[in-house]
Every structure is written in structure tokens, then in C-alpha cells.
Amino acid sequence: MPRKNYIMVDGPDGAGKGMILDSAESFLKKTHNVIRLCEPAMDGIGEVIRNELIKTGTGRDYSASTTAMACAIDREILYRKTVLPALEGKAYVVQDRGLPASLAYQTAQAGFLKERLSLKDILSMPGNRLALANAPGLLLIPDVDVETAMQRLSEREKKDDSIFENPEFQKKVRDFYHSGKFRKIFSKAGTKIIYINTGISKESTMEQSVAAVRSYIFSV
């Protein structure tokens, strides 16, 4: 069953997740207690993922399976320590990335590395089973063409230096977020999926995001 007070924003790099997250959080804070989270976490295993497993320039290469397993462990810790207690406390949890990212990024990574790693393999990991059993009620996905997303990444002052920030990889990722198999996984879990067109303007992105959240919370 989906967790009705759980909203997640996930999608390709540079697509506009931050604007959607800020808009959703600001709107919800007017009437609800809101906890904002992110994956990977900023400490512990999440820090290792960010600064070792997926960071450019280390000279060390890790498999998609290793990255997927690390993300699943990081995810399980986050859910057990923070997400589930917050949801039980009736707060709204607004989260940057989650299981959708593992499905999109690690399957794409496996493809580029010619590694055998299926959706079934990723979904069978304990942390991911826990996440799907407590799926977000609302999943917002920013949608913009890859060229625009890459331009935005190049203009950022703070760089993530992720191995995934290249056009060919991001094209694979974007296609996956729009695929029927992706939508089927989360629709079956009861999650409402809404795509936000982030290629019009910042104001439009904010308006679409607030409208989506408002419609959702008044329907549950």
C-alpha cells in the first residue's frame, strides 16, 4: 500500500527536481509538518556512494551491482531510521530520489557496462523490497529534453561530479522514466505518477508542482 503522506521527486540529472521539491515543500508547510529527505544520504553509506562509487576521477570503477546494493542498504537504513517513523507520526515526507533512481540508473549503468543486472535483481534487494512496500503516494517526475538538462548541469556552480552526467547515459535514464515497465511497477504499488514539464519556465514549474500536490492531498 502506498504511504499517502509520502511525496517523492525523482528523475534525470539537471531536469529540475530541486524546483519541484522546493515548491512542494513550501506549499505543504503552510498546513502540515514537513520533513525533507534525500537519497543517497549525506552521511554513512550515502556519503560513500556520492564520493566514491559514482564520483568521477577516482580511478576506481565499480559495477552496477555494487552500486545497486549500496543504494539498497542506504535506503533501508533511511527508511527504518527516518522515513517510516516520520510517516507514522503523520508528517509529510518530501524526498529527493529513491527506488525509482536505482531502477533507472543502475539498469542503464549495467547496460553500458554489459553487466547482467535485471529489474528483478534490483527489486529483490531487501532495502528495495521495503521501499516498494512503503511506496510514495505521489511521485513527481521532472521532464525536459536531455540537451536542456545537460546545459543546466554545465551552468551549476556546485558540481556533483557524477559518472552519470553525460548525454548518452541521461537519454537512457529519461527513456526509462517514461517507459511502461517503470510506470507499471509504481502504479501497481498504488503510486500516483505525475510528469512535470520543467522546460517552460521556473514559474511554470512551480505552478505545475503546487497544482499537482494540491490536487493530490485533496484527493486522499
The pLDDT, as a whole number, for residue 157 is 82
Q: 54 is in which domain, residue-wise?
A: 3-217
The pLDDT, as a whole number, for residue 161 is 86
Q: How do residues 148-191 score in pLDDT, each as one tens digit?
A: 999 999 998 877 889 999 999 999 999 999 999 999 999 999 99
- Look up the pTM and report it: 0.96
Q: How far is 109 from 202, CA to CA, in rounded Å?
A: 30
CATH code of the domain containing 133: 3.40.50.300
| Number of domains observed in the structure of the chain | 1
The answer to whether residues 12 and 161 touch, using CB atoms and an 8 Å cutoff, is no
Q: How do residues 33-59 score in pLDDT, each as one tens digit?
A: 999 999 999 999 999 999 999 999 999
Greater confidence (157 vs 98) lies with 98
Q: Please give the distance of CA 66 from its chain centroid, rounded to a whole number.
A: 18
The pLDDT, as a whole number, for residue 158 is 78
User: Is a pLDDT exceeding 70 seen at residue 1?
Assistant: no
The pLDDT, as a whole number, for residue 211 is 98
Mean pLDDT (the chain) is 96
CA dist 215 → 27, 107, 194, 208, 212 (Å): 12, 32, 11, 10, 5
The pLDDT, as a whole number, for residue 12 is 97
